[in-house]
Amino acid sequence: MIKHLNDIQDLSSDQIEQLITLAEDMMTDRAKYQSALAHRTLATLFFEPSTRTRLSFEAAMLELGGNVIGFADPNSSSATKGESVADTIRTVACYSDIIVMRHPKEGAPIAASLRSPVPIINAGDGGHHHPTQTLADLFTIRREKGRFEGLTVGLCGDLKFGRTVHSLIHAMARYEGVRFALISPQELRTPDYILEGLRARPNVSYEETDSLESVIPRLDILYMTRVQRERFFNEADYVRLKDSYILTLKTLADAKDSLTILHPLPRVNEIAVEVDDDPRACYFKQMYYGKVIRKALLATMLGVAL
């Protein structure tokens, strides 16, 4: 039973496997699940912009026969009148069976879960975590590679503020023999609290570098990320760092044919559009898998016997 999902660490490896198995069955036999969540309501509370996360959750709920309410713009909610997150949650819990929430403040979903009688799913809290993006990433890796163990995973871009990277590192560090290449400018290195977690795992190794070219030949997965403009304190720093890495077909010339290129999206400049037609580009498939694994998550968290 998954009560709330704040951090990917809230899920055991067995629970991740069960979600993947259910998602695969949902993909094979979509009709079987079309009324699984009939008469249940999902509320999506997005205090920060979103396209994929919110719409994939909504599509997931609708495909399971459920209902959706919510807001995509906090300016249209009572947050602008000064209402606390706790009060908003207690209210919305009267109208829904499960709540998906994105918030600019780190820890807001935990605060919400403490006051919520219904399950809360963290859809991204500031520069902290994004566990359901990680489920999408894991599901894609499993579909593409057939395994998690023994992979060399390059994470490139804004490793400081990129919440998807933090959650993915936590998740992949569980698997035997995973090697991380953490590729970023000096100013956007992976936070220490994430590295500490890695150092505590003798089964994995990591290296930090600012050179994508030097590590790309060894990678099985390349996870590109956007420089997170909204988390910068000044625009000049963002402008200086935003184009630190741009993946092109030329950069990919030295990569393995079996490389899997991922990106949580949205992309700005960090992957040239010419890469989209390369068979190694998997970021749009990743969006599709994200919807399917969110279906599995909603059905599981709502405790529906399937």
Which residues sit at the interface with ligand NCD, rule CB under 6 A? 52-53, 124, 130, 133, 163-164, 226, 264-266
Other C-beta atoms lying within 10 Å of the C-beta of residue 274: 13
Closest CB 107 distance from ligand NCD, rounded Å: 16
Closest CB 239 distance from ligand NCD, rounded Å: 17
Nearer to ligand NCD, 36 or 271 (CB): 271
Nearer to ligand NCD, 119 or 124 (CB): 124
Angle among Cα 149, 266, 8 to the nearest 5 degrees reads: 40
Closest CB 83 distance from ligand NCD, rounded Å: 23
Query: Is 130 in the active site?
Result: yes
Name the 3-class secondary structure at 124: strand
Nearer to ligand NCD, 152 or 164 (CB): 164
Residue 304's identity, in one-letter code, is V
Measured distance CA(82)–CA(198) in Å, rounded? 39
Q: Which of 41, 44, 53, 88 is catalytic?
A: 53
Name the 3-class secondary structure at 219: coil
Query: Is 52 in the active site?
Result: yes
- Residue 69 makes CB contacts below 8 A (sequence gap 6+) with 41, 42, 43, 44, 95, 96
Nearer to ligand NCD, 103 or 130 (CB): 130
Measured distance CA(152)–CA(196) in Å, rounded? 19
Q: Which of 4, 54, 102, 129 is catalytic?
A: 102
Query: Is 102 in the active site?
Result: yes
Residue 18 has which token pair? 């069960």
Query: Is 242 in the active site?
Result: no
Q: Which residues are catalytic?
A: 52-53, 81, 102, 130
